[in-house]
Amino acid sequence: MQPGSGRPGSKRSQTVSLVLLLGVGAAAWGLARRDPSQREEDALVYRDLAACLGQGLRSREDCESADREVRSLYPQAAPRYATNGDCEAHHGCGGCTAGGFVSPVAAGYFIPTLSGFMIGRTPEQKLPVQPLYRHETRPCGAGGGHAGSYCTSAGGRVWTASSGSSSARVSSAVAHTSTSSPRVVASGGFGGTGHAVSAHGGS
C-alpha cells in the first residue's frame, strides 16, 4: 500500500450501486454497498417546489415541471407495504400513510410519504425526475433526526451531505433507473435485504 493511501482526507465516493435481480413472475432486488467504481451523476435533491425555486440552480420552468411530474408519479410509483409498521421500519416513525388517502390505486397498502424529488444539476444530463422517500431504519424514539438519506421508487439509495443539502453524488444506475410501476415490499425492508414483487392494480 502506498503511504497515505488510506488518509481520511482522501476523496471518497458517494456512489450507490443498484442491483436488480429478476426472478420468474416477480422481481427480487437488492442494493449493493457504495461502489467507487461506478460512474456518478451530479444530482439535485429538493424537499419541494419552493426549495427548487429558492436555490435558483434550475429555471422556474424546470422546477415547476419537475414538481408536477413527481406529484403525478408518486401515487403510481410509491412502494407498497402490508402494514404501517413494515413501512415505518424502513421510512421512520410518522414517515408513512395509508395508501387510500393518496390514491385509490394504493388503497389497501401503506406507502411512504413523499419527501422530495431528485433532478439532474443540468437539463443536458437528461436524468428522469424521481420521487424520493425518507430512508430511516432507526426505531421510534432513537433520536438523531433524518440525515439526508433517501430511497427512490425503484429501490435506489440517494445520500446528500445533510438533511438540508440539495447536492448529491449518485451512481448513474440509480439516477437513470426510474419506475412508474409500484412494488409490494415483503418483509426485510425496501432498499434493504428484503424483496419486492410487481403490483398489478389497486389492492
Q: How many helices (H) and strands (E) does the chain have?
A: 4, 12
Q: Find the DSSP H helices in 83-155.
A: 84-91
Share of the chain above pLDDT 90, in %: 53
Whether 5 is covered by a domain: the verdict is no
Q: What does the alpha-carbon distance between residue 48 and residue 106 come to, in Å, rounded to a whole number?
A: 22
Question: Distance of alpha carbon 174 from its chain centroid, rounded?
Answer: 9
pLDDT for 41 equals 93
Mean pLDDT score of the chain:
76
Contact in structure between 15 and 33 (CB atoms under 8 Å): no
Whether 105 is covered by a domain: the verdict is yes
pLDDT for 195 equals 35
Whether 26 is covered by a domain: the verdict is no
Whether 2 is covered by a domain: the verdict is no
3-state secondary structure of 68: helix
The residue among 31, 73, 33 whose CA lies nearest residue 185 is: 31
3-state secondary structure of 31: strand
Whether 24 is covered by a domain: the verdict is no
Name residue 167's amino acid.
S
What is the length of the chain? 203
Whether 12 is covered by a domain: the verdict is no
Contacts of 16 (CB under 8 A, 6+ apart): 31, 32, 34, 35, 38, 156, 157, 158, 159, 170, 171, 173, 174
Query: What is the pTM (predicted TM-score) of this model?
Result: 0.72
Whether 143 is covered by a domain: the verdict is yes
Higher pLDDT, 97 or 15: 97
Mean pLDDT lowest for which of 22-31, 84-93, 98-107, 178-187?
Answer: 22-31
pLDDT band at 4 (very low <50, low <70, confident <90, very high): very low
pLDDT band at 144 (very low <50, low <70, confident <90, very high): low
pLDDT for 85 equals 93
Whether 101 is covered by a domain: the verdict is yes
In terms of residue numbers, what domain contains 132?
36-198
3-state secondary structure of 163: coil
The total number of structural domains in the chain stands at 1
Please, what's the largest Cα pairwise distance for the chain?
Answer: 60
For the cut 70, the answer to whether the pLDDT of residue 9 exceeds it is no
174's grid cell = 440509480
Place of cell 461506478: 38
Higher pLDDT, 131 or 165: 131
pLDDT band at 3 (very low <50, low <70, confident <90, very high): very low
Contact in structure between 71 and 165 (CB atoms under 8 Å): no
Q: What does the alpha-carbon distance between residue 22 and residue 49 come to, in Å, rounded to a whole number?
A: 35
pLDDT for 182 equals 82
pLDDT tens for 27-86 read 323 333 445 556 899 999 999 999 999 999 999 999 999 999 999 999 999 999 999 999
For the cut 60, the answer to whether the pLDDT of residue 126 exceeds it is yes
